[in-house]
Amino acid sequence: SYYPLTGMSKEVQQKLIDDHFLFKEGDRFLQAANACRYWPAGRGIYHNDNKTFLVWVNEEDHLRIISMQMGGDLGQVFRRLTSAVNEIEKRIPFSHHDRLGFLTFCPTNLGTTVRASVHIKLPKLAANREKLEEVAGKYNLQVRGTRGEHTEAEGGIYDISNKRRMGLTEFQAVKEMQDGILELIKMEKEM
């Protein structure tokens, strides 16, 4: 079902934002890039009943396709994503460049455009954020706040994702994130 921002009550919108299902009005970086004009017109979200598959419309990219769920079954999340992307691509062509890969609003997402992330609590590693960043960097991971880039961790929970999106396949990007997360968990348990 599609839920446009225009006409959505503030309560429903805030609940979706708080539950990490919906984007909020652009941050200062998106505003500086002029990505928030005419807010909220032409923006909204598609989601299934379980909210395990979402498509953000005109948040930053034209479409941001998201597969997510609680737990650690990355295979199920990835299969849902690839199945949906293949169905969408039958109807809407994605912009692609032979050298740069898929084209997006944010240049850091060029290539596969896949940002595979896990929300995880690592209290021992996170006691020293600089150390957490250093260890994550060894595994090509990016540490972000609970609500993504330019946010803080809430309740000690971090959003950790693959840093690389160019020069590897979508599967390799997800696998790199998974391998790095498993190493971080191992290190946390050993501390």
Residue 177 has pLDDT above 90, yes or no: yes
**Does residue 175 lie in a domain region?**
yes
Q: Average pLDDT for residues 113-123, to the nearest whole number?
A: 93
How big is the chain, counted in residues? 191
What is the model's pLDDT at position 102?
92
Residue 150 has pLDDT above 70, yes or no: no
**151 Cβ partners below 8 Å, 6+ apart?**
144, 145
**Does residue 105 lie in a domain region?**
no
What are the structure tokens assigned to 72, written together?
Answer: 């650690």
Separation of CA 160 from chain center: 10
**What distance in Å separates the CA atoms of residue 164 and residue 122, rounded to the nearest whole number?**
22
Same domain, 3 and 78: yes
Domain that holds residue 173: 114-190
**End-to-end CA distance of the chain, in Å?**
45
**What distance in Å separates the CA atoms of residue 93 and residue 83, rounded to the nearest whole number?**
15
In 3D space, the residue among 14, 115, 11, 104 whose CA is nearest the CA of residue 63 turns out to be 104
What is the model's pLDDT at position 88?
95
Same domain, 88 and 151: no
**Does residue 107 lie in a domain region?**
no
**Does residue 109 lie in a domain region?**
no
Residue 113 has pLDDT above 90, yes or no: yes
Residue 128 has pLDDT above 90, yes or no: no
What is the model's pLDDT at position 33?
86
Please tell me the total count of domains within the chain.
Answer: 2
Binding residues: 20, 64, 115-119, 144-149
Pairing state of beta strands 96-97 and 44-47?
unpaired
Q: Are 112 and 163 in contact (CB under 8 A)?
A: no
What are the structure tokens assigned to 40, written together?
Answer: 């909220």
Residues 76-92: tens digit of each pLDDT: 999 999 999 999 999 99
Same domain, 7 and 48: yes
Same domain, 157 and 118: yes
Same domain, 68 and 138: no
pLDDT band at 30 (very low <50, low <70, confident <90, very high): confident
Binding residues for ATP: 20, 64, 115-119, 144-149
